[in-house]
Amino acid sequence: MSPAVPSRWGPRWSRWVGRFLARVLWRTEVRGRDNVPRTGAAIVVCNHLGLIDGPVVHGVIPRGSHFLIRVEMMTGPLGGILRAAQQITVEGAGREALAQGLAVLRRGDVIGVFPEGTRGAGTATAVHGGAAWLAIQSGAPVVPTTIVGTRRTGESVNIWPRPGRRLLVAFGEPVVLTPPPEVRGGRAKQEWAAERLAEALRQQVARTLETTDLELPLDDPRRENRGGEDQA
């Protein structure tokens, strides 16, 4: 049975909500917008600091996007908004979410993933393999992306910053994860792609930090407290 493909209607309105938050409520500088392909499938992968990362990045991507979001976020009023926005719920092992994400990519649209899997320091030192699997299966380019400023040292991962805070989102050059011929077998290809994706994201974070006075938080309270994950 084919997975239900999220409707394009959700991102058509919800990205304007995200844009309002990014541009009006907070002062978000956006770099590298042209690195997001104007047409066709693309996977935006971003480091993860705090609660507002999702709506901010969703709002500044120059196209509609469907983000993979952990089921724990899909409750209450926020969950209702996310579902109406046709974001993709990640539950359990995430197989259904990945199937939906692949369907979106095959339709020629954009998927967003926070591959660290949880809000924290945003250093991308460890990433999960879902985005790499999507890249291998779809052939879609991956756009490594950095977000900085949404959480500062000592702040909760659930912080809703005061209006006017300065943020930065920087889209890097797209990367196509095509395993070389000597890498054979599904698992080997997956591991190869996951390593390349993680390295591309780490390099993008490092390059961004070299060109801004904004800094990543020095603490990682979610991991230190052994808390649960929130986004895939």
Helices 9-20/53-60 angle, 10° precision: 110
What pLDDT score does 72 carry?
A: 86
**Distance from the Cα of residue 115 to its chain's centroid:** 7
- Give me the domains of the chain, ranges plus CATH numbers: 14-155+167-224 (3.40.1130.10)
The one-digit pLDDT tens for each residue of the chain (232 residues) are: 567 789 999 999 999 999 999 999 999 999 999 999 999 999 999 999 999 999 999 999 999 999 999 888 888 888 899 999 999 988 888 899 999 999 999 999 999 999 887 777 777 777 788 899 999 999 999 999 999 999 999 999 889 999 999 999 999 999 999 888 888 888 898 889 999 999 999 999 999 999 999 999 988 776 655 443 344 4
- 113 residue type, one letter: V
Query: Is the CB of residue 45 less than 8 Å from the CB of residue 131?
Result: yes
Tell me the C-alpha distance between 75 and 228, whole Å.
15
Tell me the C-alpha distance between 230 and 69, whole Å.
7
Neighbours of 38 (CB within 10 A): 9
Tell me the C-alpha distance between 220 and 122, whole Å.
8
Query: Is the CB of residue 110 less than 8 Å from the CB of residue 41?
Result: yes
What pLDDT score does 224 carry?
A: 57
Instruction: Write down the H helix ranges in 107-227.
Output: 130-138, 186-209, 221-224
pTM for the model: 0.91
Neighbours of 130 (CB within 10 A): 25
